[in-house]
Chain A
Amino acid sequence: MNADEFSDASGDDRLDASAKRLLDAWRTPTRWRYWSAVNNSEVGLWYVVASFTFFLFGGILALLMRIQLAIPDNDFLTADQYNQIFTMHGSVMMFLFAVPILEAISILLLPEMLGARDLPFPRLSAYGFWCFVIGGVFVCGSIFFGVAPEGGWFMYPPMTTEYQTGVGVDIWLLGLSFIEVASIAAAVELIVGVLKCRPPGMQLNLIPLYAWYILVVAVMILFAFPPLIAGDLLMELQRSLDWPFFDASRGGDPMLWQHLFWIFGHPEVYIVFLPSIALIAMIVPTFARTPMVGYGWIVLAAVGTGFLSFGLWVHHMFTTGLPAISIGIFSAASQAVAIPTGIQLFCFIATLLIGRVTKSVCLLFTLGGLATFIIGGLTGVMVAVAPFDYQAHDTYFIVGHLHYVLIGGTIFPIVAGVYYYYPAVTGKQLSERLGRYAFWSMLIGFNVSFFPMHLSGLLGMPRRVYTYPAELEVMTLNLISTVGAFVLAIGFVIFLFDVLRSKKNQPLAPRNVWNAGTLEWLAEVPDKPWGVRSIPIVTSRYPLWDQEGFVEDVDAGHFYLPDAEEGLRETLVTSVVDAEPIQCLRVPGPTFLTHFAAIFTGGVFILSTYHWYSAAAISGLFAFITILTWLWTGTAWIPEKQDKDVGRGVTLPIYVSGSKAVGWWAMFITMLGDMTAFISLVFGYFFYWTTHDDFPPDGSTGPGWIWPAVALLMIAIGYVATLAARKWNRQNHAAGFYAAIVCGVVCSLGGAAAVLYGPFTHHMDPTAHVYPAIVWVLTGWTALHVVLGVVMHVYCAARRAAGRMTARCDADIVNVTLYWHFLLLTTAITCLVIAGFPMVAR
């Protein structure tokens, strides 16, 4: 690889015809239409900028808190303001920075690492991004009106259900639920991206480590966020309709919220930590000039951490009076997770030891981050020991611990990543000298700020209290912390200045400036919008190091899809394990539909906050119409020809359906997340059974077994009708297809009505007790999903009638059938639980 050669910026006129066509297809829209872009390089960049903006906002809130805590009995902030600020600091840093930044960096870089031109669903990324921005501005804006949430980032009831009647809690619940839409959208995008959009030849043992980590993290998002969404739903129902899920006087239990929140909340911290470790896994081999040691061990670490992190949630609840056995089991898992976490650190250290390390700011931040993270990890092992946690719980010791792991494990590596990837994204380099100043200022400031917190915590300083008395004798420690916080902030200011300063007079960085070995460094300087000139065949983990003449071959268009004869955006889809090319996927281009979809979806959540339900319903209707329009016009196009020559003598189909298609995978993954939320609600039902001596309560009637049985039968008929519709569509038996759809619609709607009629006919009042409330939630959830399934039926019929779905091009009905598999399972579980369990329990 010759690092000195880089292409000319104004080289458009020197391109050959095929490259010109490719460039035209991928050209970024200009002027005001720029904002309609959906390509990963634009959306990813906006995402990064927006996430960092929220990060700065959260950081300023932190400084305000440190000013308030600098001296005892300070009156810089009132208790009320302080509560709002610490709640927003935690919520913003977690929901608006830590998770979005990983999605942002992944959307920006993952396609480049995989030599893909774009992710499989660019418009979904754009939709997620706009949802995130609208929701984030809405949630952050509340603090300027003094109505921000005050319940902490964990929002424990009964405080948030009985004692905080203002709009703040609703803003948190609905605003953040809305943002979680973006997270799940990104998870779908990233999982399908890693599994299906790798370059030919990149089999499982050649995947860049970043992609392994992101795959694990995206799967974690899929299983961690839905329980929180379920919890949000229950709490919002209690706040707006008075259904007593967390009200102990009517059979509810505040502990259910804690379980649901922490089933999300603990995996969450690994969700934000692993992607940063993934950045380190890309940086370390580059600066050690050697392949990563222990690739298989790192896969173990990523997958192992991902799994084990789901077995830790109760360690946030050690002091809630749970049985000793339960506490012990979660304490054990909390200790066990240190093993895979440690293994990957040893792999990094070993790589640095055997390599020839070159100095750089990236490596400084990496090593600083690892050292800081290890300290935080060790205090984490301390608090995983329950007896110690009884003492440290809710003190500043915990604040110290969590900031060591989050800033050391997440933020420092992200800063390292910014220094590392800045040239790839902008073509210019950041200053090594300023970087060193920023690093030492951050590292020293961070430790001076957060280390004393361990001590003040052990001396008994509680968290989340706006001031402390002088008698506690923690003033010196707090003053030191405050000074340190400002030194840390100065480091960030230097970093920010370096990123934002004008670099007009600075020469362009050479191509592959760090001499790295992975595909994202194929990027030309300045970068072209097409991602890669041609999609390469990969035979090594570090193709730029190992494959002879690789860059020249890519640039000369010797690999796949070097042309866009039809002027359309295309990328390759490959098989999941062996990465064999299976489809030439056409991806959609710029649109404003995603903005409207995000605005209207946001309207549902934001208007509901103020109880303007009719306006919210209208907004929901518009969102529904917009999304249907987007699907109708932008998905499952029937191509003008069946197959396409993608180069090198390979001809691939343009349209595939079933498990080879990316859309099928997206549906499958989305439904896994949906199922997880549903199972969380079912967990709630049984949780009430374990905490009450009589659940279902004596004397409660309903919902009986007849109506649930009728519902299950009718929805099962709807399911069979869906299967029949798929089959007859494939056989091109139009009459049969439409008949099956009509039968499916009628039976399913009947089933939805029946499932609701059970609790209705038994006069189950959801405000009277938690038992009727949870039954209504399960039946309502099911009915809603059935209605959605019916909409899908009608959509498929309309597609076929309009000639947009044929016997061969049947992705719509195939994906709808997949949805119905899950729907049948949901219905079966609901009916068995609400009808069967009362019989068994009595």
Chain B
Amino acid sequence: MTETSERSGVYSGVNGNDHGSAIWWIVAAPSVWAAHFLASYLTAAIFCAKFADSDRSAGEVQMAVMAYTVLAMVILAGVGWVGYRRHQSGHDGGPHDGDTRADQRRLVGLSTFLLSCLSAVATVFTALVLYFVGTCH
């Protein structure tokens, strides 16, 4: 692996091993939202189709989604923390638009952090539905 110098981009040509799996951090948080969303929807849909009578509450679904939500929020908090730390590392405070590895890492960190915030809000939205809607019909 070659180190790129700060300004001039000198490449030796025998290289190509990327630093870290940066791109996966970006999609980590929304994937957690997606998993939570899908799990909540499938649980509710299958329960309502297979186990619910017209007058029966969906308490089991509410409990299940509560558990999914706690789990999802813990993971999101972890991902967000990692992202925030990377965004803050080196405290440059700028728009992370330099051509250094450090700046790339900070930018990916910032996007990861912001996406975990968005995913947390969307996850809470889903959970709130279960809080307010207690029956299938």
Residues on A facing B (Cβ under 8 Å) = 200-201, 203-206, 291, 295-297, 299-300, 303-304, 306-308, 310-311, 322-326, 328-333, 335-336, 339-340, 537-541, 575-578, 580-582, 646, 648-652, 660, 690-691
| Residues on A with beta carbons closer than 8 Å to the beta carbon of B125 | 332-333, 335-336
Tell which of B16, B31, B33, B96 touches A205, judged by Cβ atoms closer than 8 Å.
Answer: B96
| Chain A residues with CB under 8 A of B45 | 322-323, 326, 690
A218, chain B: closest CB distance, angstroms: 14
**With A205-B96, A303-B115, A650-B13 as contacts: A325 and B129 at CB distance below 8 Å:** yes
Name B53-67 residues within 8 Å CB distance of A: 58, 61
**Shortest distance in angstroms between B19's beta carbon and chain A's nearest beta carbon?**
6
Q: Which secondary structure dominates where chain A touches chain B?
A: helix
Interface size class of B (residues with CB under 8 A): 35 or more
From B50, B114, B132, contact of A297 by CB (8 A): B114
Tell whether, in the assembled complex, residue B96 and residue A295 are in contact, meaning their CB atoms are under 8 Å apart.
yes
With contacts A295-B107, A578-B101 taken as known, whether A325 is within 8 angstroms of B130 at the C-beta atoms is yes
Residues of A within 8 A of B121 (CB): 336, 339
| Cβ–Cβ contact A328 & B97, under 8 A | no
Tell me the complex Cα distance, A208–B107, Å. Answer: 14
Query: Which residues of B in the span 15-54 have a Cβ within 8 Å of any Cβ on A?
Result: 15-23, 26-27, 30-31, 33-34, 37, 40-41, 44-46, 48-50, 52
- Contact across chains for A582 and B15 when beta carbons are under 8 A apart: yes
- Name the CB-closest residue of B to A648: B11
Q: Which one of A204, A303, A540, A580 contacts B107 once the chains associate, using CB atoms below 8 Å?
A: A204
Q: Which residues of chain A come closer than 8 Å to B76, judged between CB atoms? A: none
What 11 new A-B contacts, CB under 8 Å, besides A311-B122, A582-B16, A648-B11?
A: A200-B9, A204-B22, A204-B107, A205-B108, A296-B111, A308-B122, A328-B129, A332-B129, A577-B21, A580-B16, A646-B13
Q: Are B96 and A296 in contact (CB under 8 A)?
A: yes
The complex places the Cα of A330 from the Cα of B113 at a distance, in Å, of: 25
Question: For the complex, would chain B's binding face be called helix, strand, loop or mixed by DSSP majority?
Answer: helix
A-B pairs with beta carbons under 8 Å apart, 29 shown: A200-B9, A203-B104, A205-B107, A206-B104, A291-B95, A295-B95, A296-B111, A304-B115, A304-B118, A307-B31, A310-B34, A323-B45, A323-B49, A323-B137, A325-B58, A325-B136, A326-B44, A326-B48, A329-B44, A332-B125, A339-B118, A540-B99, A575-B18, A577-B20, A577-B21, A577-B23, A581-B11, A581-B13, A651-B13
Are B48 and A307 touching (Cβ within 8 A)? no
Q: Does B7 have its Cβ within 8 Å of any Cβ on chain A?
A: yes
Q: Which residue of B lies closest to A215 (CB)?
A: B23
Assembly CA distance A326 to B128 (angstroms):
13
Q: Which of A307, A310, A324 contacts B135 (CB 8 A)?
A: A324
Compute how far the CA of A339 lies from the CA of B137 in the bound complex, rounded to whole angstroms: 29
Bound form: Cα–Cα A603–B93 in Å: 59
- Return chain A residues, CB-CB under 8 Å to B44: 323, 325-326, 329
Docked Cα-Cα span, A323 to B137, in Å, equals: 6
With the chains together, A323 CA to B9 CA distance in Å? 58
Complexed CA–CA distance, A422 and B4 (Å): 37
Q: B50 — nearest CB in chain A belongs to which residue? A: A690
Inside 8 A of A329's CB, which chain B residues have their CB? Answer: 37, 40-41, 44, 126, 129-130
Complex Cα distance, B22 from A326, in Å, reads: 35
Per a CB cutoff under 8 Å, which of B22, B33, B58 touches A577? B22
Among A296, A303, A331, A648, find the residue whose CB has the most chain B CB atoms closer than 10 A.
A296
Closest CB-CB distance, B125 to chain A, in whole Å? 4
Q: Is the CB of A578 within 8 A of B18?
A: yes
Contact B136 A323 (CB under 8 A): yes
When distances are taken between beta carbons in the complex, the residues of chain A under 8 Å from B15 are 575, 580-582
With known contacts A205-B103, A291-B95, A577–B19 Cβ distance under 8 A: yes
A576–B115 CB distance below 8 A: no
Let me know if B103 and A325 touch, CB within 8 A: no
- Give A728 to B2 CA distance when docked, in angstroms: 32
- Give Cα distance in the complex from A247 to B115, angstroms: 42
What 3 pairs across the A-B complex have the smallest Cβ distances? Answer: A582-B16, A205-B107, A328-B129
Q: Are A204 and B129 in contact (CB under 8 A)?
A: no
On whether the beta carbons of B37 and A300 are closer than 8 Å, the reply is no
With most chain B CB atoms within 10 A of its CB, the pick from A201, A291, A306, A336 is: A336
Which of B48, B98, B118, B136 is packed against the most chain A CB atoms within 10 Å? B118
Q: Which residue of B27, B37, B48 contacts A333 across the interface (Cβ within 8 Å)?
A: B37
Cβ of B133 under 8 Å from chain A = yes
- Roughly how many angstroms separate A709 CA and B48 CA in the complex, as a whole number? 33
Question: How far does the Cβ of A65 sit from chain B's closest Cβ, in whole Å?
Answer: 36
Chain A residue at smallest Cβ distance from B107? A205
**A578 to chain B: closest CB distance in Å?**
5
**Inter-subunit contact A204/B95 (CB<8 Å):** no
Min C-beta distance of B49 to chain A, whole Å? 4
Point out the residues of chain B lying under 8 angstroms from A540, CB to CB: 97, 99
Rounded to whole angstroms, the CA-CA distance of A538 and B21 in the bound complex is 21
Residues in chain A near residue B73, CB distance under 8 A: none
Known A325-B133, A575-B15, A575-B17; contact A206-B41, beta-carbon cutoff 8 A: no
Contact B135 A296 (CB under 8 A): no
Tell me if A204 and B48 are in contact (CB < 8 A). no
Minimal Cβ-Cβ distance residue in A for B116:
A300
Indicate whether B72 reaches chain A with its CB closer than 8 angstroms: no
Give CA–CA (A754, B19) in the complex, Å: 46
Contacts of A203 in B (CB 8 A): 99, 101, 104
Q: Please state if A291 and B97 are interface contacts (CB–CB under 8 Å).
A: yes
Chain B: minimal CB distance from A572 (Å): 10
Quick check: B111 and A333 within 8 Å, CB to CB?
no
**Cβ–Cβ contact B11 & A580, under 8 A:** yes
Alpha-carbon distance A576/B58, docked complex (angstroms): 46
- Partner among B104, B122, B133 whose Cβ is within 8 Å of the Cβ of A324: B133
Minimal beta-carbon separation of B114 from chain A (angstroms): 4
Q: Is B79 an interface residue (CB 8 A)?
A: no
Complexed CA–CA distance, A22 and B50 (Å): 67
B-side contacts of A578, CB under 8 Å: 4, 18-19, 101, 104
Is there contact, CB below 8 Å, between A690 and B49? yes
A310: which B residues are within 8 A, CB to CB? 34
Q: In the complex, which of the residues B40, B58, B108, B122 has the most CB atoms of chain A within 10 Å of its own CB atom?
A: B122
- CB contacts (< 8 Å) of B115 on chain A: these are 300, 303-304
Q: Beta-carbon contacts of B80-123 to A below 8 Å, as 1s and 0s?
A: 00000000000000011111010110111011001100110110
Q: Which residues of B lie under 8 Å from residue A201 when comparing CB positions?
A: 4, 9, 99
> Which of A297, A303, A576, A581 has most chain B Cβ within 10 Å?
A303
User: In the complex, which residue of chain B has the Cβ closest to the Cβ of A203?
Assistant: B104
Q: Chain A: which residue is nearest B34 at the CB level? A: A307
- In the complex, A331 Cα to B104 Cα: how many Å? 36
